[in-house]
Structures are given as structure tokens and as C-alpha cells.
Amino acid sequence: MMFLERLIQTGMKDNPIYYSLEYSWFAKDDLWLPNCTAFACSRSSEAAGRNVKQQIPRTNAQTWYEKSNWRGSTVPQVGAIAVWGGGKYGHVGIVERINEDGSVVISQSNYTRASKEAMIANYFVLGTYRPEVGKVTKYIGWTFLGYLINPYINDIRTKRDPAKHQIEVTKEKVRARKGPNGEIYSGLFIPIGLYDVLEEDGDWVRVDDNVWFSKGDWATDYPAEKKEEEDMPELVKIVKDPNYNYRWSLDGNRYGDKYDVTVMGGFGDEKLKADGWEEVLAVNGSLFYTYDGKHYAHGVEKSRGVINQELEMSCVTDSFEVMALGMDYNGGLTFKKTKDICAEIWEYYGAVTGEFGIMKDGQKAEWGKEVFSQQYNDISGRTIIGTDKEGNYLSYSLAGVSGSSGLRGAELYDLCKSLGFWNAICFDGGGSVFRRVNGVKDITTTRKVKNCVLLYRKKRNVEEELAQMKTALEEAEKGLKTMTQKYNEVCQFNVKLTAENEKLKEDARLLTDTNNKLLSAYGEINKILKGVI
């Protein structure tokens, strides 16, 4: 979830998130606002874009840091819950902004039973602090305990440093314990992302404070010496180099129990590679579904010039109104509806149906959002392929967990427009997000998928291209010469045919004259015979 800071109380009044037991344990009796726990519980749901009530301790504020399953940290992140201990109840607030000087802006609501004016003044309060764990914060006067990181906010992500031993968390709930031999928690919420390994003990690692996590099957280990995988931006722009030719391809398997599922890292177009093409980009393709107990494809219709998808499977026509991506034999991309791509499928080297469309020729074209409304409306990781107005290629990849982190479909048009897209299609997201740029994986899918969209390039050989053009010109000249010869023969035949036609016309005229003379003679003879009789 992209974090939207709250620096004013506008929009809180009568907001069900702040005045409903559905979103807060504390929205009742005398614990309506102003109250720090009621505010922090509701504000966490608002910031996360989902109800997190069940993940908030139903206890006094100062016990939250110990009792919460959310990851504790001494380092602030936007949307995190700041926790203080002191007095009878302690205090909590929400980190709204991190200033360049290291101070943090925290929103809060302070409990009071005083006058109406005091209640209004304490309803929504902003404070700027420099809290350090174990030290008393001057403004509040209580000891700062730390931050509880909201796992559904992905604005702040650890950047990978190849020089450090790091671990990539791929699930939002992990096994954890306090200290190397402490009590094990079955499900601690932490944000998906990369973390520096501070200490290691067998299968357990410490990545923050005194909290240890079990690597298990929820994380990928990156030893310090593994430096080839560099952090890359969410947007990759490939400006077409005039010294190269480019070609898009698609690799994938047919869907069904009898076919193998391919891991993203194994995809590639062996035919192009054997011909000297080098891979520039590889991203996950689209979705597959089951329908009425039968497998049917919402994905590859054709790859590498070969039809490899069972389009006759049940209900595949449901996706005909969804945007599809076609890769023509000249290497370019075509953004059309699936039904239009299928109608001329033999014109394409490869084609794949998207999850839904985003843009077509600079205009919003969310084709398919009704067919796959859940995928459109849910927050999720996203894979977007497109072009800018000049025809350069753009790839946007954002890792995320479906329903927990990433972006919603409704956010993608404005995002793509701001990033310079002219055409854009959205493929499968969530655990299927994968990207490999120039052979380096910067985002790795957490599950196996069925297909992959690929971009290759090959250095232009001017002499070879000129030779090919010369050969094509020679072939064209031969063809023109043959056509000219055939044309002349037809003309000659036409002249002969015209002459024969004129002769036939003259013969017909003579025959008509002779016939007329015979008829006239016959008439005279007939008169003579009548006179004799």
C-alpha cells in the first residue's frame, strides 16, 4: 500500500474507520476520540488500506510493543506505530513523515476527561520528535520503546547492498523469537523486502533489534559474495539503440495437469538465442484459471510462431474483451483486445492475453477489468509492459502480496501516465511478479508460473543487411522482369485476339448480307409462283 500521510484532522469526523467497532477495539464507551489507542488502531487501518484491528493488541498502549505480532524496530518507517511507556497506560502514535534531519512527525490523539475545549484540542495532535529507545521524550515525558512496522505499507523498502549478507522476506507472516533461545511466535508480521543479516545461528537470523527469524521457506538468502544481483528501479526504460534490432518473444507451457510448470528462471527463446539474439528483458506473463473443474487458459495463445494453447477449452471466450499483447514478426508490439489478436493470430510471432489493459494510444483502456474485477480491485504486486510515444519500451514491476501490498488496478492509469507510458498492459501480479534485466534478476517470483514475455536484441550487421536488401532487390527485379514478359505476351495475344475478332465481325457482316439477298430472292420467287397459280 502506498502511504498517504495525515497531517490534518479533515475527513476523520463521521469516518466509520474512526467511529466503528469494526475497525477499533477502543471505539466505545469513554474510549472514543480523543484517545491514543483508539486513534492508532483506526489510523493503522486507514494507512494500510485494510482492516488491521485483529492485529492490534487489545491492551494498554505501553504493552503494544511487547504483545504485537508486528515487527519491532528502532528505525522509523512511515505508517509505523510509535510506542511509549510511562504512567498508567503509556502512549502510541503514528509516524506520518520522516524529516531530512532525522526527526519524525507523529499523529496522535491524547486522552482527556477535561473540558470540551480541551477535548477538541486533543482530538488530533501532531508532534515532531527525535525518539531514542530507552530515553525519555521531552514533549510527552515518557520512555520511548520503539516502532511497530505496519506490514501493509511498502513505501520504505530496504535497498540491497551486495557487500552485505542479506535475506529477502517473501511472506508476511514468519516464525520468530525474542533472542536466539527465546519463545517462538508462530506468526510475526513483517514487511516483505530485503534485510541485512546482523547475526546468524543455524537456520535462525537476526535482522533487527533482538528479534530472530527462522529462514524456513519464507525467505531467500543472499550471501555477501553474491554481488551480481543489483537493486533496480520499479520502472525500466529501454531506449531503442539504432545499432540494434529488437524482437519480442514468448515462452510458456500449455496449461493442464499433464504439463510441467516452469520456474521463471528457466524461460527463454532458444531459437532466437541460437541465432545470436541476446536477452534484454524477461517478465512474467499472464494468469491461468480453472473453470467448472476443467483447466482453461487465460494466457498464451501462441509462442515462437506456434499455436500452443487449447483455445477450445471452457469459457475462454470470457477473456476475448481483455487486452492482449501481440508480438509481430518485425519485433514490434501490438496492444489489442484478445478477440482481435486471435482473429489474425497467424500475423504474430507470439501473443498473450493480459490481466487487463491500462492504456491505448495515450488514452485509458482498462479492457478486462470487469472480467477480472477481483484482480483489478485488489491490492497486489504488478507487472506492466508498454511503450512510450516514441516507441521505446517500458517495464514496470512492483513486488507485492495479493490483498496485502502493492497497487490496485484503479491506480495504474495515473501511474503509467506519469511515467510516460503511451500503451500499457497489466499482467499477473502478487506472487507471480518476476523480472530479469540484462540477465540480472531484480524481482523473483515466490511461486511457479506458466509463461514469460521476453525482449531480445541483436547488433545490426550493415553489410549483411545491405546484402539482404540487394538480394531482395534482385529478386524483385527478376519478378518484375518476369511480370513484364508475361504482360507483353498477354498484350500480343490481345492484339492477335482483336484481329481475329475483327475478321469474325467481317465474316458475320458478309453472312448477314448474303442472308438478306437470299431472303429478297425468295420473296420474288414466291410472288411469281402465286401469279402462275
Output 92 or 284, whichever has higher pLDDT.
92
Q: Which of 48, 10, 14 is nearest to 124 (CA)?
A: 10
Determine how β-strand 300-303 pairs with β-strand 348-353: antiparallel
Q: What is the mean pLDDT of the chain?
A: 80
375: cell is 484482480
What is the mean pLDDT of the segment spanning 356-384?
Answer: 89
How far is Cα 262 from Cα 269, in angstroms, rounded to an integer? 14
What is the mean pLDDT of the segment spanning 235-241?
Answer: 90
Q: Which of 422, 383, 416 is nearest to 400 (CA)?
A: 383
522: cell is 425468295
Residue 154, φ and ψ in degrees, nearest 5: -115, 20
CA 250 → CA 273, 338, 351, 382, distances in Å?
Answer: 13, 16, 7, 19
Give the pLDDT band of residue 311 (cuts 50, 70, 90).
very low
For 425, the enclosing helix (H) or strand (E) is strand 423-427
How far is Cα 164 from Cα 75, in angstroms, rounded to an integer? 19
319: cell is 477473456
Angle (CA) 92-98-103 rounded to 5° is 80
Buried-state track 222-257, b at ≥16 Cβ within 10 A, e below 16: beeeeeeeeebebbbebeeeeeebbbbbbbbbbbee
CA 421 → CA 174, 413, 414, 436, distances in Å?
Answer: 37, 9, 10, 20
Output 225 or 444, whichever has higher pLDDT.
444
Output 155 or 100, whichever has higher pLDDT.
100
Give the pLDDT band of residue 281 (cuts 50, 70, 90).
very high
Residue with cell 515462452: 251
Output 121 or 64, whichever has higher pLDDT.
64
pLDDT at 292 over 60: no
CA 176 → CA 71, 73, 183, 216, 240, distances in Å?
Answer: 10, 14, 8, 11, 47
For 9, left (φ over 0), alpha (ψ -120 to 50), or beta?
Answer: alpha
How far is Cα 56 from Cα 521, in angstroms, rounded to an integer? 125
Helix (H, G, I), strand (E, B) or coil at 144: strand
Q: Which of 249, 158, 243, 173 is nearest to 214 (CA)?
A: 173
Helix (H, G, I), strand (E, B) or coil at 145: strand
pLDDT at 159 over 50: no
313 forms bridges with which residues in the sheet?
none
Output 208 or 285, whichever has higher pLDDT.
285
pLDDT at 381: 86
Residue with cell 519485433: 331
Query: Would you list the DSSP string of 30-96?
Result: GGSSS-HHHHHHHHHHHHHTS--GGGS-SS-GGGHHHH-SBPEESS--TTPEEEEE-TTT-EEEEEE
What is the mean pLDDT of the segment spanning 59-63?
Answer: 93
Give the pLDDT band of residue 319 (cuts 50, 70, 90).
low
Q: Work out the burial of residue 301: count CB atoms within 10 Å of its CB; fewer than 13 is exposed, 13-18 middle, 19 or more buried.
A: buried
How far is Cα 83 from Cα 106, in angstroms, rounded to an integer? 11
Give the pLDDT band of residue 314 (cuts 50, 70, 90).
very low
Q: Which of 129, 128, 148 is nearest to 48 (CA)?
A: 148
Q: Which range (145-149, 176-180, 338-342, 376-380) has the least confidence? A: 176-180
pLDDT at 516 over 90: no
Q: Which range (84-93, 214-223, 463-472) has the least confidence? A: 214-223
Q: Which range (195-204, 346-355, 485-494, 521-530) has the least confidence? A: 195-204
pLDDT at 296: 45
CA 533 to chain centre: 111
Predicted confidence (pLDDT) per residue in 72-121, tens digit: 888 888 899 999 999 889 999 999 988 878 889 999 998 776 777 888 88
What is the mean pLDDT of the segment spanning 287-291?
Answer: 50
Mention every residue, 6+ apart, whose C-beta is less than 8 A from residue 223.
Answer: 165
Output 431 or 65, whichever has higher pLDDT.
65
